[in-house]
Structure 1
């Protein structure tokens, strides 16, 4: 099965702000970025389309697959950063609890939020579910964190390496084969 993972387009949030599962609006560049993604996947025949239900993904999925049924799945949401949603990363790091978390983000949960292992578990459950389907090609519109986890699970790469080497850009397309 081929998986075409599409990261949502740019968001209307200042740089350096943590927004995780907050339902933020898309940037004014949406149409241009959507057109670029559409051109990149033009001609690909998808058996099924999945998307995070957050607006930044949902809007892109609905725009790309206007006449298709899209499955919106909560397991494809970005990490829930809890109390740190919509704070700047600098503010989070300046907070003693935030610093402890940032120094061990792969194990500890965000303050009143989710841990990275919890997110990996839900993305892995999604992936395990679609592996049993007889699809040739699926589209997944999601977030950078979800796409990194997919890469880690499918390509068997340590996630800590991927945080340094694999940074899906807004409106990017990443293909996997399972």
Structure 2
């Protein structure tokens, strides 16, 4: 089975702001960006369509797949940054808790938020449910952090490498082969 993972389009948030699970809107460039995604997916039919319920993903999913059932799943949300939501990364980094988290972000929870192991657990649960279905092609509209975790779970990519080297652009499509989970 092929899984087409689409990162949401640009957001209406100033650069350098942490927005994780905040329900921020799409940028003014949305219609141009969504047309490019639609063109990339032209001619493809999907058995199931999934999306994060946050509006930046929901709007893209609804524009790409009008009049089709979309399965919105809370497990597909970005990392919950807790008290750091909508604060600048500079402000976060310069706080003792922020510096501590950034030194060990793969293990520690954000301030009153979520840890990457918790996020990985919810995405793995969703992926395991998806793997047991008899589908040929599915699509999911999600966030960069979720795509990175899917690369880790499906392709076995080390998380360190993914955060340092893999930065899926807004409106990009990453294709996964679920027959190849962890190289099997």
The alignment's TM-score, normalised by the length of structure 2, stands at 0.96
Task: Structure 1: state its 5+ residue gaps.
Answer: none
**Paired residue secondary structure (1:17):** coil
1:133-148 correspondence runs (5 A): 133-148=133-148
The equivalent residue for 1:113 is: 113
RMSD: 0.4
Paired with 1:132 and 1:153, the residues of 2 have a C-alpha distance of 15
Please state how far the C-alpha of 1:67 moved relative to its aligned partner: 1.6
The equivalent residue for 1:39 is: 39
Please state how far the C-alpha of 1:164 moved relative to its aligned partner: 1.1
Please state how far the C-alpha of 1:145 moved relative to its aligned partner: 0.3
**Paired residue secondary structure (2:141):** strand
Q: Does 1:131 pair with 2:131?
A: yes
Q: Does 1:165 pair with 2:165?
A: yes
The equivalent residue for 1:89 is: 89
Paired with 2:57 and 2:85, the residues of 1 have a C-alpha distance of 18
Please state how far the C-alpha of 1:165 moved relative to its aligned partner: 1.2
Please state how far the C-alpha of 1:170 moved relative to its aligned partner: 0.4
The equivalent residue for 2:27 is: 27
**Paired residue secondary structure (1:15):** coil
The alignment's TM-score, normalised by the length of structure 1, stands at 0.99
**Paired residue secondary structure (2:46):** coil
The ranges of structure 1 where at least 4 consecutive aligned residues each deviate by more than 3 angstroms after the TM superposition are none
Paired with 1:157 and 1:60, the residues of 2 have a C-alpha distance of 27
Please state how far the C-alpha of 1:115 moved relative to its aligned partner: 0.4
User: Cα deviation per residue 1:135-170 (whole Å; 9 max; x = unaligned)?
Assistant: 000000000000000011100111111111111100
Paired with 1:67 and 1:2, the residues of 2 have a C-alpha distance of 22
Paired with 2:71 and 2:78, the residues of 1 have a C-alpha distance of 16
Paired with 1:101 and 1:39, the residues of 2 have a C-alpha distance of 39
User: Cα deviation per residue 1:12-66 (whole Å; 9 max; x = unaligned)?
Assistant: 0000000000000100000000000000011111000000000000000000000
Paired with 2:35 and 2:138, the residues of 1 have a C-alpha distance of 19
**Paired residue secondary structure (1:135):** coil
**Paired residue secondary structure (1:145):** helix
The equivalent residue for 1:154 is: 154
Paired with 2:160 and 2:50, the residues of 1 have a C-alpha distance of 26
Q: Does 1:68 pair with 2:61?
A: no
